[in-house]
A and B are shown apart, each in its own frame.
Chain A
Amino acid sequence: MLVGTLVYGFINSSILALLAMGFNLTFGISGVANFAYGAVYIFAGFLTWIGLNSFGFPYLVSVLLSVLCTIVLGILMYYLIILRVKGLALSEVMATFGLGLAIMELFRYFDFVGFRYTLPVFFDGSLGIGPVFIDYQRLIIAIIAVGLTLFIYLFTHHTKIGLAFRAIAQDERTALTFGIDSDFIGALSMAFGSALAAVAAIVILPLGTIAVEGGYEVLINALAVCIVGGLGSTVGILVASVVIGFAQTFTANYLETHWMMLVSLIAIAAVLIIKPSGLFGRQKELEERI
């Protein structure tokens, strides 16, 4: 029982980390809290499904197409909406939230509801680790979560665009004097965030069905991880996803599944009250509270 809980706790943590990565990247670089994140995630999932089942494309083609479309959606969202209200935190939140609502409910309107909306797993079968059996898909999730974390670390530390990302995040004005176009980088950060959401959707969604409600849950989970870990901090979200992931799995196993969502909500509330910038966030005393 305990071994199983630990293994599934680790996998739950990887899922949370995958979900939060895109949200965190966009926020960390351009400071945009993308409340349409859950909608982007669902969008990618349904697009892959449409590619596979309505058009009959091969798996790889429909995955690539859906990631590409999600990236385009992110860029359009940045230039058409976010850029016009940039810096007004509340307006950003309301505009992206409204758009996310519109996207998700549009899917509901076109009747994308039911058990037939599932994505295929990568490989069938499962693996026994001691007394616990885990299917390959969950293993792949853990591997991809670790791989993407490494990729993002290498990308932001060793490529020109990655360094530009970090420059904008650290000090936008100084970065501007070095010829880094903050609007373009902002759009790129949005594109990256959307792409990460799409990858997360394609990897995680085969575990269940694609549902519109899932979008809200994804947003709350991503928010929970980012707030607890500290918005914009990569180490923070890794630690937070481990903490919340294990806490959720333990409550689900030893208490009841009803309490699972409550864990992340309590974590959010507690962190916001005690240290609003999160466990690893940079403290911005006067912006947070007075």
Chain B
Amino acid sequence: MKKRKERIDRGIKARSEDIFALSSYREMLYLLLPRAIPVVGLLLFTPLLSSYWQEVLISTAVYALLAISWDMLISAGLVSLGQSLFYGIGSYIAGALNHYWGWSPLFTIPAATVAGGLVCTAMLLPVLRLRGIYFAMVTLVLPLMLLRLVEATRILGGTEGLTGLDPFPSQLTALYVIQVALLAGLFGFRRIIGSDYGLIIRAINDNDRAVLSAGLNIHWYKTQVLFLGASVGAFAGAFGTHLDMFAGMPGFALDYSIMPVASAVVGGMGTFAGPMLGAFILVPLSEILRALGTLRIVFYGLFLVVFVVALPEGLFHYAQRKYHQFERWVEVEK
């Protein structure tokens, strides 16, 4: 007697999915609870943490922003192995505006977000037609190239970078700025992908030629997605640069490229919440493991391998399935 596992949507999912006139608190909670957890958790409980863990949380949020920016690109089938490009460009623009012209963070961060998005989009525009691994390799190489360029030409402070930038007024301000930005990015991107516009983007990922033959200009859509992703990454860079009061070559470091990918793989790609969840697992974990020195990078590497090989769907997809569906064993028909 062979059995197989059958998955069926829960009744409450079916009821609360399409009908907008919700009839009970249970159904409202069913929809609200998963969305309320990150909002309440971030905005209400994080100020209670110690100063050290707040700091950890800030850097976690920076990585989470980079991860959801990565996820936006992957939604349109653009595999980026160089999120540090966005981070570095954003950080250098904000740093230069602050260092040379003395703009306050209030203006440098929005300016760097938009300008960084535009600059990165312009840099990647020639290779936007490349697909899959070819696009990935260009993105891997670009930040390394810019790194060497800064080193060779000694522009923007060269190897020393731009130091003594304006910090945030207080740690709590920084915490709230980045958390609100993260939540806005998370829910904004989820909203975009859920709309008809997002449908086209996801279709480009699934089958770009089909979209092309439907008469839609996929390159223009890809450019828009790239701009969205790049600006979020540039925002993270601009924020990080004022946080550290420093803009320099570490902005193009491999960390900012690997962590977002690792977070997305651990959390589950294509959901935005997944990569954020992944970042909130991996970054604090690496802080706890800080005592182990470089051994934590070994753990990252192995984490990446184990998740890619054994659990490719990621944690969020798994949790989502358990939340929406129940499973039972049924007999296999002869």
Residues of A contacting B298 in the complex (Cβ-Cβ under 8 angstroms)? 101-102, 105-106, 109
10 more CB-based (< 8 A) A-B contacts, given A98-B308, A105-B297: A85-B308, A90-B132, A93-B133, A95-B305, A97-B304, A98-B303, A102-B299, A102-B301, A288-B134, A289-B130
Secondary structure at the A interface, as helix, strand, loop or mixed, is helix
Does the CB pair B138–A81 fall under 8 Å?
no
* Given known contacts A85-B309, A105-B295, A290-B218, A94 and B304 CB-to-CB distance under 8 angstroms: yes
Interface bracket on B: 35 or more
Closest residue of B by beta carbon distance from A290? B208
Does the CB pair A89–B132 fall under 8 Å?
yes
Which residues from chain B sit less than 8 Å from chain A, CB to CB? 79, 81, 126-127, 129-134, 136-138, 141-142, 144-145, 148-149, 151-152, 208-209, 212, 218, 254, 258, 261-262, 265, 292-295, 297-305, 308-309, 312
Which residues from chain A sit less than 8 Å from chain B, CB to CB? 33, 81, 84-85, 89-91, 93-95, 97-103, 105-106, 108-109, 216, 220, 223, 227, 256, 258-259, 261-262, 265-266, 268-269, 272-273, 276, 286-290
Q: How far is the CA of A134 from the CA of B282 in the complex (A)?
A: 49
Identify which of A101, A108, A262, A273 contacts B138 (C-beta below 8 A).
Answer: A273
Does the CB pair A99–B136 fall under 8 Å?
no
Closest beta carbon of chain A to B232's beta carbon, Å? 21
Closest beta carbon of chain B to A89's beta carbon, Å? 5
Does the CB pair B152–A272 fall under 8 Å?
no
Does the CB pair B133–A290 fall under 8 Å?
no
Residues of B contacting A33 in the complex (Cβ-Cβ under 8 angstroms)? 133
Identify which of B79, B138, B149, B151 contacts A272 (C-beta below 8 A).
Answer: B138
Closest beta carbon of chain A to B15's beta carbon, Å? 37
Closest residue of A by beta carbon distance from B302? A102
Q: How far is the CA of A93 from the CA of B309 in the complex (A)?
A: 12
* Given known contacts A109-B293, A273-B138, A288-B131, A98 and B145 CB-to-CB distance under 8 angstroms: no
Does the CB pair B131–A84 fall under 8 Å?
no
Q: How far is the CA of A98 from the CA of B282 in the complex (A)?
A: 14
Does the CB pair A90–B133 fall under 8 Å?
yes
Among B141, B293, B299, the most chain A Cβ lie within 10 Å of the Cβ of B141
Residues of B contacting A109 in the complex (Cβ-Cβ under 8 angstroms)? 292-295, 298
Closest beta carbon of chain A to B309's beta carbon, Å? 5
What are 10 sample pairs from A and B whose C-beta atoms fall under 8 A apart?
A: A33-B133, A84-B309, A94-B304, A98-B303, A100-B301, A223-B137, A268-B141, A273-B138, A276-B130, A286-B209
Residues of A contacting B304 in the complex (Cβ-Cβ under 8 angstroms)? 94-95, 97-98, 101
Residues of A contacting B301 in the complex (Cβ-Cβ under 8 angstroms)? 97-103, 105
Residues of A contacting B292 in the complex (Cβ-Cβ under 8 angstroms)? 109
Does the CB pair B265–A94 fall under 8 Å?
yes
Q: How far is the CA of A268 from the CA of B299 in the complex (A)?
A: 30
Q: How far is the CA of A100 from the CA of B299 in the complex (A)?
A: 12
Q: How far is the CA of A165 from the CA of B237 in the complex (A)?
A: 46
Q: Which 8 A-B pairs have the closest CB atoms?
A: A98-B304, A102-B301, A101-B301, A258-B152, A105-B297, A265-B145, A98-B301, A289-B129
Does the CB pair A262–B152 fall under 8 Å?
yes
Residues of B contacting A223 in the complex (Cβ-Cβ under 8 angstroms)? 137
Does the CB pair A265–B141 fall under 8 Å?
yes
Closest residue of B by beta carbon distance from A276? B134
Q: How far is the CA of A219 from the CA of B176 in the complex (A)?
A: 40
Does the CB pair B145–A262 fall under 8 Å?
yes
Closest residue of A by beta carbon distance from B128? A289
Q: How far is the CA of A256 from the CA of B152 in the complex (A)?
A: 8
Residues of B contacting A94 in the complex (Cβ-Cβ under 8 angstroms)? 261, 265, 304, 308
Q: How far is the CA of A227 from the CA of B141 in the complex (A)?
A: 12
Residues of A contacting B218 in the complex (Cβ-Cβ under 8 angstroms)? 290
Closest beta carbon of chain A to B138's beta carbon, Å? 5
Closest residue of B by beta carbon distance from A259? B152
Q: How far is the CA of A99 from the CA of B328 in the complex (A)?
A: 37
* Given known contacts A94-B261, A269-B142, A290-B212, A261 and B148 CB-to-CB distance under 8 angstroms: yes
Residues of B contacting A269 in the complex (Cβ-Cβ under 8 angstroms)? 138, 141-142, 145
Identify which of B134, B265, B294 contacts A289 (C-beta below 8 A).
Answer: B134
Q: How far is the CA of A265 from the CA of B148 in the complex (A)?
A: 9
Residues of B contacting A272 in the complex (Cβ-Cβ under 8 angstroms)? 127, 130, 134, 137-138, 141
Does the CB pair A287–B132 fall under 8 Å?
yes
Residues of B contacting A85 in the complex (Cβ-Cβ under 8 angstroms)? 308-309, 312
Identify which of A95, A100, A227, A286 contacts B308 (C-beta below 8 A).
Answer: A95
Q: How far is the CA of A17 from the CA of B295 in the complex (A)?
A: 33
* Given known contacts A85-B309, A90-B136, A93-B136, A287 and B131 CB-to-CB distance under 8 angstroms: yes
Q: How far is the CA of A101 from the CA of B305 in the complex (A)?
A: 10
Q: How far is the CA of A100 from the CA of B301 in the complex (A)?
A: 7
Does the CB pair A290–B209 fall under 8 Å?
yes
Closest beta carbon of chain A to B245's beta carbon, Å? 27
Q: How far is the CA of A223 from the CA of B218 in the complex (A)?
A: 29
